[in-house]
């Protein structure tokens, strides 16, 4: 019997980077756990993010200089790395958003095809 978790959406390759960049642009600096929970919350738990996958994405985004990181204290006063979007990250976010909009539009057109008569 499928569980609620089984019904959560799988992220398309590369989509997590887009979601992280958008989250940081909107909310400002956050630690990895906060980023993951916020994306899950905004998706109304349709997306479940594995923390290992989130941190791999954060590392990739840092290596591309689309985000930077600094150490700080979390809400519960623990040491945490906070990530922030850079100017290059904002530019990349615009490119990825445009690509997403094109892709989603194309998929929508295919899914809305009517049978030929």
pLDDT tens digits, one per residue of 56-71: 999 999 999 999 999 9
What was the pLDDT predicted at 101?
A: 95
The domain segmentation of the chain, as residue ranges, is 5-107
User: Which CATH topology does 5-107 take?
Assistant: Arc Repressor Mutant, subunit A (1.10.10)
pLDDT of residue 4: 52
Q: CA 86, CA 24: separation in Å to the nearest integer?
A: 10
Q: pTM value?
A: 0.85
Contact 2, 73 (CB under 8 A): no
User: What pLDDT score does 14 carry?
Assistant: 76
DSSP state of 45: T
**Mean pLDDT over residues 110-116, rounded?**
94
What's the confidence (pLDDT) of residue 9? 56
Average pLDDT over residues 101-112: 96
User: Would you state the pLDDT for residue 18?
Assistant: 96
Is residue 100 over pLDDT 50? yes
Token pair belonging to 116: 């030929």
């Amino acid at each position: 019997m499928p569980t609620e978790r089984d019904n959560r959406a799988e992220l398309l390759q590369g989509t997590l980077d887009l979601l992280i960049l958008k989250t940081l642009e909107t909310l400002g600096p956050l630690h990895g756990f906060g980023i993951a929970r916020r994306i899950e919350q905004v998706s109304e738990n349709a997306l479940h993010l594995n923390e290992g996958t989130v941190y791999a994405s954060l590392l990739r985004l840092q290596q591309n200089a689309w985000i930077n990181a600094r150490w700080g204290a979390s809400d519960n006063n623990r040491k945490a790395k906070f990530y922030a979007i850079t100017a290059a990250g904002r530019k990349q976010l615009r490119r990825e958003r445009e690509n997403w909009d094109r892709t989603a539009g194309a998929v929508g057109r295919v899914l809305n095809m009517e049978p030929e008569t």
